[in-house]
Amino acid sequence: MHSRFTDAFATLPAALQTALEPLLSRDDFPAMLTAAQVTDVRAQTGLDDDALAFALLPLAAACSITPISHFHVGAVARGVSGNLYFGANMEFSGTSMQQTVHAEQSAVTHAWLRGEAKLASITVNYTPCGHCRQFMNELNSGTALNIHLPNRDVATLGDYLPYSFGPKDLDIATLLMDKVDHGYTLAETDDLSLQALQACNQSHAPYSQSHSGIALETQSGKIFAGRYAENAAFNPSLPPLQGALILLNLSGEDCLKIRRAVLIEHPQPLVSQGDATRSTLVALGCKELNCITL
């Protein structure tokens, strides 16, 4: 079991510990439960879907990186597939506050990068801030997305974001988590560049058309790719680097052990990720970034 889970695991009910221990003990535990695993854990514990998501929040929060706030937030996203995806807030010393990731953003992006088609609900241990409410409003789930909070009745995103402004107000039909392929090609054939290209082709940038994707290689040799997730309100947009860091962190890797990175962008982008990506990677100890313009 990854050491970050030890304390949180000890607080779980005995039946849940028994059900989860074989999953958490895997070296490659991906901070998610498949629909089949959810069914098995529910059968062993007697928990329903909502109760299980709440019970998993301490494990999700244990994935947080908080050198600035020391405030741990966990989130669990439930996909329409039945899969459950962990999310946790992430902060990076030596960078601007704009580089941080909120737990809800983490869970949503985690599900998106794992191939989930749509979300049914988000369970979180603290009320979503306005930034996260606006970020989630970009989803193809829309304002019907269910939000679960401790000691509160279930409410929809629409309840938390009345009079919302979103993609439909700008006549955007392709929403976050819809399947897309922008059709870019690349001469490079190395795996890192190809994974960055795939991420770029699946990125969500309907407002600027500044599609971008990144791939990070860690010192262990594993590769994690992230896609740009643009937002109708612009500021809640999530850069591709943050998407890759979410997947890297939730997979149990160390954000301070990135060996090299490839960033791929649309030619002459209205929104460029290069400078912010480079400065954040330098703060994380990675100086090898190859920026490719298609």
Quote the percentage of the chain above a pLDDT of 90: 95
Distance between CA atoms of residues 54 and 196, nearest Å: 34
3-class SS at 226?
Answer: strand
H or E stretch at 88: strand 84-88
Closest CA to 120 of 129, 128, 111: 111
Report the DSSP pairing between strands 32-33 and 84-88.
antiparallel
Tens of pLDDT, residue by residue over 91-146, are 999 998 889 999 999 999 999 999 999 999 999 999 999 999 999 999 999 999 99
CATH of domain 191-293: 3.40.140.10
pLDDT at res. 213: 98
Mean pLDDT of 56-74: 97
Say whether 191-293 and 29-170 share the same fold. Answer: yes
Residue 268, pLDDT > 90, answer no
Is residue 148 within 8 A of residue 107, CB to CB? The reply is no
The token duo for 158 is: 């629409």
The token duo for 226 is: 């992230």
Domain boundaries, the chain: 29-170, 191-293
The token duo for 65 is: 């990186």
Tens of pLDDT, residue by residue over 212-234, are 999 999 999 999 999 999 999 99
Residue 16, pLDDT > 90, answer yes
Residue 267, pLDDT > 90, answer no
Indicate if the alpha-carbon torsion angle 58, 63, 67, 68 is positive or negative: negative
Distances (CA, A) of 165 to 35, 203, 204, 211: 33, 21, 17, 22
Mean pLDDT of 22-34: 95
Position of tokens 């930034």? 131
Residue 27, pLDDT > 90, answer no
3-class SS at 236?
Answer: coil
Query: Chain centroid to CA 33: how far?
Result: 15
Distance between CA atoms of residues 139 and 46, nearest Å: 31
For residue 104, indicate whether it is catalytic.
Answer: yes
Closest CA to 240 of 222, 265, 257, 260: 265
Is residue 259 within 8 A of residue 289, CB to CB? The reply is no
- pTM value? 0.97
Report the DSSP pairing between strands 289-293 and 155-156.
unpaired
Q: Which amino acid makes up residue 263?
A: L
Please tell me which residue in 104, 116, 138, 265 is annotated as part of the active site: 104
Tens of pLDDT, residue by residue over 151-205, are 999 999 999 999 999 999 999 999 999 999 999 999 988 999 999 999 999 999 9
Mean pLDDT for all residues in the chain? 96
Mean pLDDT of 1-30: 95
Give the domain 29-170 fold: Cytidine Deaminase; domain 2 (3.40.140)
Residue 252: pLDDT band (50, 70, 90) is very high
Closest CA to 211 of 175, 240, 186: 240
Q: Which amino acid makes up residue 111?
A: A
CA torsion angle 274 287 63 97 (round to 10): -50
Distance between CA atoms of residues 49 and 81, nearest Å: 13
